[in-house]
Structure 1
Amino acid sequence: MADTFQLELVSPERLLLSRQVEMAVIPAAEGEMGVLPGHAPMVVALRGGVISVRDNGAESERLFVAGGFAEVLPDRCTVLADEATPVAEVSRAKAEQRLAAAEAALVEVTATDPIERRDLAMSKVQSARAMRDAAGAA
């Protein structure tokens, strides 16, 4: 088994990362998920959170994603992110504004709205909280 795999992180605006890495931890919808070379094939939904990349036994990069999907194969992991930004570029003020807007939109949702609308509103709040937390840790 190889010691590395190809990690690609793509957002609608640009390709943020495309290189060999030892490990990546991605914010899967069900929880944090470690990806190593030889991982079983799967497709997972992502929630807002931070992708942590490890090389030479240490964390080498951290990237915030607002959601999306990841395709994991034994020799490659492709992340298709709704939005992605290196954590060092995440603004705490922008994250706070996004959180306030998302919480205000969630308040507008009623119990009679379709479940999809309620889920989307809650997902935006959770993603904004993850962005704020990432900005605080940068």
Structure 2
Amino acid sequence: MDFMTVQIVTPDGIRYDHHAAFILVKTTEGELGVYPGHIDLIAVLEIGEIKVRRVDDENHVDWIAVNGGIIEISKNKINIISDSAERERDIDVSRAERAKLRAEREMEEAQHARNADLERRASIALQRAINRIRVGNH
């Protein structure tokens, strides 16, 4: 088989479902590139972008922002489960930039207050906003 089926699922349902010739994801162990025929694998995803090179046109690439999750590869079927996933075309970059500014402000306040829990939450919000901006600007 010269293609894979890629499906991204969130609590809101299926967010992406297409055939791909290649995908690139960011796992906790580093970047993972997947071509058809890849060995079966399960890995933990970081907050990051997913690159999907579609089979309909080798120049057609979809970019999807995910907030972590799990990738399962089995027999040319790729299932990605994440708490959220947004395609490049669906991202409101100006809204993401406002979220980034808000997270930076919250992080600064948490550091000033020496509140590690709030600082960790602000750091995650900042990572998510930066990821959305990066994907939205592809």
**TM-score of the superposed pair, with normalisation by structure 1:** 0.79
Over the aligned positions, Cα root-mean-square deviation in angstroms equals: 2.4
> Aligned runs of 1:85-124 on 2, under 5 Å?
85-107=86-108, 108=110, 113=116, 119-124=120-125
Is the Cα–Cα contact under 8 Å of residues 66 and 84 in structure 2 kept in the other structure? yes
**CA–CA separation in structure 1 for the residues paired with 2:122 and 2:42:** 23
Match of 1:11 in 2: 10
User: Unaligned regions of 5+ residues in structure 2, if any?
Assistant: none
**CA–CA separation in structure 1 for the residues paired with 2:86 and 2:50:** 10
Superposition deviation, residue 92 in structure 1: 1.3
Is the Cα–Cα contact under 8 Å of residues 52 and 59 in structure 1 kept in the other structure? no
Superposition deviation, residue 32 in structure 1: 2.9
- Over 3 Å counting, the alpha-carbon distance change for 1:94 and 1:7 in structure 2 is same
2:137 aligns to what SS in structure 1? helix
- Over 3 Å counting, the alpha-carbon distance change for 1:120 and 1:29 in structure 2 is farther
Superposition deviation, residue 43 in structure 1: 2.1
**CA–CA separation in structure 2 for the residues paired with 1:27 and 1:106:** 24
Letter in 1 for 2:26: P
Match of 2:136 in 1: 135
**CA–CA separation in structure 2 for the residues paired with 1:134 and 1:112:** 30
Superposition deviation, residue 113 in structure 1: 3.3
**CA–CA separation in structure 2 for the residues paired with 1:128 and 1:29:** 19
Match of 1:84 in 2: 85
User: Unaligned regions of 5+ residues in structure 1, if any?
Assistant: none
